[in-house]
Amino acid sequence: IGVEFIRNDIEYRVYANKEVIASGGPINSPQLLMLSGVGPRDHLQSLGIQVLLDLPVGDNYLNQPSVMLTPKVKPEYLYLTNEIGKINIKQLSELYYEQGGVLAQHPEVALFFSTQSNKDKQWPNINIIYRVVNDTIYSTAYLARFKSRGTVRLQSTDPRVHPILNPNWFSHPEDVENALESTRMQFYIFEKTQLANYVILPKLSDYGCAMCTGRYIYECTEGLLCYMKYFTYSSLHPGGSCRMGSIDRPDVVVDPQLRVKYAKNLRVCDSSVFPVVPNSNTAAISITVGYKCSQLIKDAYNLK
């Protein structure tokens, strides 16, 4: 078993004495496997790729959807930008001489809450992150747990051509309801709390969502659903496209030792093996998978 790659327009082949480990992530690892003949039979045959193993590679693609709201801070409160306002000498001294104090802080706030459909209230399913950049507050609501599942598919047999990603967001009605509730919460915070005095919200009419005239946006379900169509983004926490599990399951690509089913000397070691993505950032658990993979390999070959 080995790897074929291109460098400086020259094709090379390198063979492994023991194993090949795919660590391209939840987008490139399934791409590599499918280009090598490991993947859904019908899809590979449609591209003329010889099928070596018929496995659900690229299925179960997971990526937390997030809805972003970007209110602007009113000009009269842009103290640092406009060099006006209620800033005292003590605060300026801390900033310029000590690089500290309140003016040196970049507020980053996280809010967790549970939607009505979440049965375990001790395990929130929504995460809202706030960041301030210049005159804009970036409020991003992540749907931490969701039921929609997407796919990764090849669009070419050329490895330099990006695969096709279909996150399939909001294909499950419960995901729509939960995202709607989190979006409603975001607008409520900027329309009905003290923050409403300091910000200017975007006009939904600018995005073809002019159905909330005469009332608060958070009260207008039609407007919120329309807004979600324009401002749903990737959370950049993907996984799942080479799902790990028991080898007798038809939806599994790798076994608990991260070995590709029915293949020899081939493992996948990245977040594509997650059966589900965590209720948070994927960085820590991805590092854990890498550490566990190294231990599995050392144990398999009696290495220290």
| Per-residue pLDDT reduced to its tens digit, 132-190 | 777 888 999 999 999 999 999 999 999 999 999 999 999 999 999 999 999 999 999 99
Q: Which of 181, 206, 236 is the last residue of a domain?
A: 236
Do residue 47 and residue 70 come from a single domain? no
Do residue 232 and residue 246 come from a single domain? no
Do residue 108 and residue 222 come from a single domain? yes
pLDDT at 215: 84
pLDDT digits (tens, 9 = 90+) for 64-105: 999 999 999 888 777 655 555 555 566 667 766 777 765 566
Do residue 129 and residue 253 come from a single domain? no
Do residue 75 and residue 214 come from a single domain? yes
**Which domain does 211 fall in, by range?**
64-148+170-236
Are 236 and 282 in contact by the 8 Å Cβ rule? The answer is no
Is 250 within a domain? Answer: yes
Do residue 18 and residue 120 come from a single domain? no
Do residue 51 and residue 72 come from a single domain? no
CA dihedral 157, 274, 130, 67 (to 10 degrees): 60
Do residue 119 and residue 80 come from a single domain? yes
Percent of the chain with pLDDT strictly greater than 90:
70
CA dist 129 to 16, 65, 136, 162, Å?
44, 13, 14, 30
Do residue 230 and residue 92 come from a single domain? yes
Are 175 and 142 in contact by the 8 Å Cβ rule? The answer is no
Do residue 70 and residue 56 come from a single domain? no
Please state the rounded mean pLDDT for residues 269-276: 96
Do residue 177 and residue 281 come from a single domain? no
Q: Which of 183, 208, 236 is the last residue of a domain?
A: 236
Say which CATH number the domain at 21 has.
3.50.50.60
Do residue 85 and residue 209 come from a single domain? yes
Say which CATH number the domain at 84 has.
3.30.560.10
Question: Total domain count for the chain?
Answer: 2
Is 156 within a domain? Answer: no
